[in-house]
Structure formats: structure tokens, C-alpha cells
């Protein structure tokens, strides 16, 4: 087997959709693999942030600091410490940050509210999410040997030792199968991520509790419990291979979507090999024609609704990088199946009734079905009740009977209005949201945001009737 020359991974260009692709800046950094090693990193982070906070307090007291606002824990140097350390740790750190952001704890609304996330912490989450550390070659080769044996290279005619992508729990390499000549991608999990889930989350909980970085009303234990469950799923690559095969069957007769074939005989619980797709990354579609952007947005939102109410099985991560598209046909290529989960029929029956009530303008229905599902107890203050109902009602606007025939996502204010209700709900809610809603809301809000970024315009009412409303008999 021979190594491929370092090739160009896919990234949004700086100009049109035909601009040359340029390699995303990747940083080589050894991933801590043992619990003791990871504990040391978290401990040194806590110590460093504590000393940084003392230093920032002194600077503010003496007038030397240029930033006299906000928590001393989130000084500029401490933000840099957080980004550097969490980028190195990957895994649970990134996943919990993602879960926190789903709940809308961004710096929306009144930043001085005790229920608002400090804007510096939001920037930490964004910077860590965009960072791209990958394993040194020796560590990557050991991971492959541990999973596929010392002769793992014999399966491949070509293999690119530099990853084409690096994410929260693993990195992706391009290769060619020796047996068939087929182009494939190999996802290799970072060593130690799976075995350190519990300890990492415990360390993160201690860190955020000690530093008092998060607002009240988060129900942090629930967030950690759901994070632990989802991260364990995503670390099981055999489960992901099964998810991909399941999606392949569900979408086999719909040529608007393509699912890569899994090379099952080369998959283990820490290595995943599948067909390589050659579409454009979705972020490049912002340079396409309005017609193409309409088509892509419609297909993304349709798939989201179908996953929930048709398949009752959803890939819950709406990240740009999880989708490619074919410039000739507008076909959506699906790439990542680690964050998939099934939903109980009883949950979706009530959840669907909440959304259908919103689309029909039925505020009482939204509240009653929300109470039955456990989003609220029924004993909330009127302020909380109205905030909850308002946040749901705006989600129904694109699907209501008086919505435009072609809803224009480029001018929608839905996501902002939902975010504006979050501080009130954090302050007044009496119960955490159902566990199923974390991933579900991440995908639904993500689908809306993708359509917004694409500036899509399409018939949302017909889609709603086809994919959702016909499935509920009131």
C-alpha cells in the first residue's frame, strides 16, 4: 500500500461555488488517551482558570484591565485556555457544549440576566467547535492497528495519512480499497474518548459548577445524562454502520437523497469504513442559483420532518458538514449517522399534536399537549406559560394556513424570537424538558437555520400536509 499525497479536503470557498477548494487548517496534537491523563488536563485547566481569575480581579481593582464587565473567570486569557484545552480533549467537552447551545443559552436578550449565557462563553463554544485538532501519524496508526490488526494497510491500495476532516470524537481519512479499487473514507475514533465519557463529564460538571459559568435553570444533571447517552451512541461505530444501513433502506426509493454504502467487513466499534461521496459541501450552496437553494432547503426540511413523523428515526446533528449536494441534480448526500436515535410512538404522537396545534393557531392545544408530554407541569406562572406557548407558536408559522405560498426563510425571524423567550423560560420553568427533545430540537432548529443560511423559498404548507398533518387525526 502507498500513502496518497496530502490531498485537498472540502471546505467552503471564499468566492463562487466553482472556486478551488483549499485545505482547512488542521492542527496536529496528541489526544490524551488515559483517564489519568485526561484528569490531569482538566485539573490543570481548573488551576489555570483559577489563577487567571485572581489575576483578572487584581487587574480590574488596579484599573489595568481593559474589560471591567462580566465574569473574571472569562477573561481573554481564560477564554484562550478553555479553547486550547477543550480542543485538545475533544469528545465529551465538545458534546456537552453542543447540548448547552441547543437549549438556547446564548447571549440573546438581556446579557445581564442571570439566565443568559455570558457572550464570552458562547464564543468559547463556537471557537472549540470550529477548531480541528487531529492525531499525530504514530497515534493514528496505532489506533488502526488496535482495531484492524498489524496488517491493516493490506486492505488499502492507497491511504492519505493526513485527515480530510477532524471532528469531536474522530478524524476522517481518504483511501482506496485494494480488492475493488473503490474510493472510501475511514473514520478513526480518538483513543480514550469512549472509555473516558463518565470521568470527562464529571470533571466538566465540577469545572462549570466551581466557576459558576452557567445560568440558573439549566438542569445541568439532565444535560449531562443526555450527553452521556448520546456520546456513548456516537462512539459505537458498529451502531453507526447499522444506522447508515437503516437509512439506506428507508431512502432507497427516493432519489432526492443518497446514503453511502458501508464496507461492513472493515468496520469495528472504533473504525468505520464507507463509500466516499464526491458532492459539494452544503456550505458552498450559498453561491448557487435561487432555484438550487430553494430545492436544497426544501429537501433538507422535508427529510427532517419525515425522519420524525414518518421514520420515527432521526439523525439529530444538523451540522453543515454532515451534508453534501450534487450540483447537477440537487441530490442531498448524507454523511454522518452517529447521532441517530429512534423515538417512541407515544412521544411523537403528543409532540406532533403540539406542532400541529401551533400551525393551526391553537394556543390552548399547545399548552395542553405540552403538559401531557412533560414540557411543563401545569403549575407554571403565567409569564412562563405565555413564553412557552409563544416559543412554540412561532415554529408553526411557516406551516399555517395564512403563511405565504412560498415561505421566504431569508427574512424569517423565527429563531431569534424563540431565542428571546429562553431567558424567561430558564428563570421560571419548573421541570426539565423531556430527554428526547434535546436531539429533536437540535435537528429541527438546525434545519430552520440551514434553510435560512441558504435563503431558501418554497411551499412549506404543502410539505407540512404531506409529511406531518395527514398523520394526525384530531
On whether the CB atoms of residues 300 and 444 are closer than 8 A, the answer is no
Residue 317 annotated among the catalytic residues of the structure: yes
End-to-end CA distance of the chain: 62
- Among 160, 200, 317, 336, the active-site one is 317
Q: In sequence order, which ranges of 331-413 are alpha helices (DSSP H)?
A: 345-359, 363-373, 382-393
The residue whose grid cell reads 492525531 is: 135
Q: In sequence order, which ranges of 192-337 are alpha helices (DSSP H)?
A: 197-211, 220-234, 237-250, 290-306
Q: In sequence order, which ranges of 235-362 are alpha helices (DSSP H)?
A: 237-250, 290-306, 345-359
Residue 203 CB partners (closer than 8 Å, separation 6+): 38, 39, 42, 43
Residue 127 C-alpha cell reads as: 471557537
CA dihedral 406, 410, 412, 413 (to 10 degrees): 180
**Complete DSSP assignment for 378-442:** S---HHHHHHHHHHHHGGGGGGSTTS-SSEEGGG--HHHHHHHHHHHHHHH-SSPPPTHHHHHHH
Residue (of 337, 322, 311, 135) closest to 234 by Cα position? 337
As annotated, the active-site residues are 317
Amino acid at each position: 500500500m502507498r500513502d496518497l499525497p496530502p490531498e485537498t479536503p472540502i471546505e467552503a470557498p471564499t468566492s463562487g461555488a466553482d472556486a478551488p477548494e483549499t485545505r482547512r487548517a488542521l492542527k496536529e496534537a496528541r489526544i490524551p488517551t488515559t483517564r489519568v491523563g485526561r484528569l490531569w488536563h482538566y485539573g490543570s485547566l481548573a488551576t489555570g482558570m483559577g489563577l487567571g481569575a485572581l489575576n483578572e480581579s487584581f487587574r480590574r481593582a488596579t484599573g489595568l484591565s481593559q474589560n471591567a464587565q462580566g465574569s473574571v473567570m472569562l477573561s481573554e486569557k481564560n477564554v484562550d485556555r478553555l479553547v486550547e484545552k477543550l480542543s485538545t480533549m475533544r469528545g465529551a467537552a465538545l458534546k456537552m457544549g453542543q447540548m448547552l447551545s441547543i437549549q438556547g443559552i446564548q447571549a440573546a436578550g438581556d446579557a445581564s440576566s442571570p439566565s443568559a449565557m455570558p457572550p464570552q462563553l458562547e464564543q468559547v463554544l463556537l471557537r472549540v467547535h470550529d477548531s480541528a485538532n487531529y492525531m499525530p501519524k504514530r497515534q493514528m496508526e496505532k489506533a488502526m492497528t488496535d482495531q484492524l490488526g498489524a496488517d491493516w494497510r493490506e486492505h488499502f491500495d492507497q491511504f492519505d495519512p493526513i485527515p480530510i476532516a477532524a471532528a469531536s470524537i474522530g478524524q476522517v481519512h481518504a483511501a482506496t480499497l485494494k480488492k475493488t479499487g473503490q474510493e472510501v473514507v475511514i473514520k478513526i475514533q480518538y483513543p480514550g474518548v469512549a472509555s473516558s465519557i463518565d470521568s470527562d463529564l464529571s470533571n466538566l460538571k465540577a469545572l462549570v459548577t466551581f466557576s459558576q459559568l452557567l445560568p440558573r435553570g439549566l438542569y445541568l444533571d439532565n444535560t449531562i445524562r443526555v450527553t452521556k447517552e448520546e456520546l456513548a451512541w456516537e462512539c459505537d461505530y458498529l451502531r453507526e454502520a447499522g444506522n447508515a444501513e437503516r437509512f439506506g433502506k428507508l431512502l432507497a426509493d427516493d432519489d432526492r437523497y443518497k446514503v453511502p454504502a458501508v464496507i461492513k467487513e472493515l468496520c469495528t466499534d472504533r473504525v468505520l469504513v464507507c463509500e466516499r461521496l464526491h458532492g459539494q459541501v452544503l456550505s458552498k450552496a450559498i453561491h448557487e442559483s435561487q432555484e438550487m437553494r430553494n430545492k436544497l432547503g426544501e429537501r433538507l426540511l422535508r427529510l427532517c420532518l419525515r425522519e420524525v413523523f414518518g421514520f420515527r428515526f432521526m439523525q439529530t446533528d444538523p451540522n453543515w458538514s454532515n451534508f453534501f449536494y450534487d450540483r447537477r441534480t440537487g441530490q442531498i448526500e448524507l454523511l454522518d449517522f452517529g447521532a441517530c436515535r429512534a423515538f417512541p410512538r407515544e412521544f411523537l404522537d403528543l409532540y406532533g399534536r403540539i406542532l400541529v396545534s401551533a400551525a393551526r393557531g391553537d394556543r390552548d392545544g399547545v399548552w395542553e399537549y405540552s403538559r401531557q408530554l412533560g414540557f411543563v407541569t401545569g403549575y407554571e406562572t403565567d409569564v412562563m406559560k405565555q413564553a412557552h406557548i409563544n416559543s412554540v407558536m412561532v415554529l408553526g408559522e411557516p406551516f399555517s394556513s395564512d403563511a405565504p405560498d412560498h415561505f421566504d426563510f431569508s427574512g424569517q425571524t423565527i429563531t431569534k424570537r424563540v431565542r428571546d423567550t429562553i431567558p424567561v423560560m430558564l428563570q421560571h420553568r419548573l421541570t426539565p424538558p423531556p430527554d428526547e427533545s434535546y436531539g429533536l430540537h437540535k435537528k429541527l432548529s438546525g434545519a430552520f437555520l440551514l434553510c435560512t443560511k441558504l435563503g431558501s423559498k418554497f411551499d412549506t404548507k404543502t410539505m407540512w400536509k404531506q409529511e406531518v398533518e395527514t398523520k394526525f387525526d384530531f
